[in-house]
Amino acid sequence: MDNKSQNFEEKIKYLKEKAKEVWVNIIDMIFTAQSGHPSGALSAADIMTVLYFDILEIDPKKSPLTWSRSLNFIQGTFLSSLVFLSCYTRILSY
């Protein structure tokens, strides 16, 4: 396996681990609140994980107001738990 393939495989493994963290946190948050709709958040968790951990420029050292350009495309209250937990998990990674 060449170095480029190895880096790709490592990135995929890392993203899968982060997606699992997000899934567990979604279920935990909805169960604890005894309210919510997990299907929307769980169905988009992989996509949001790739966005937050690989594509979007989310830097907790900067003001959250600077993140708004990256987050403007996200609308809908059914995904609010996913948006919150993806961002929270990303910040914890720093």
Report the percentage of the chain scoring pLDDT > 70. 69
pLDDT tens-digit map of 42-83? 888 888 888 878 887 767 677 665 555 555 555 555 566 677
Structure tokens at 9: 């495989």
This model's pTM is above 0.85: no
What gap in Å lies between CA 37 and CA 47, rounded to an integer? Answer: 18
- Residue with the two structure tokens 């403007």: 72
* Boundaries of domain holding 23: 3-92
Count of structural domains, the chain: 1
DSSP state of 1: -
Contacts of 54 (CB under 8 A, 6+ apart): 11, 15
What gap in Å lies between CA 24 and CA 75, rounded to an integer? Answer: 22
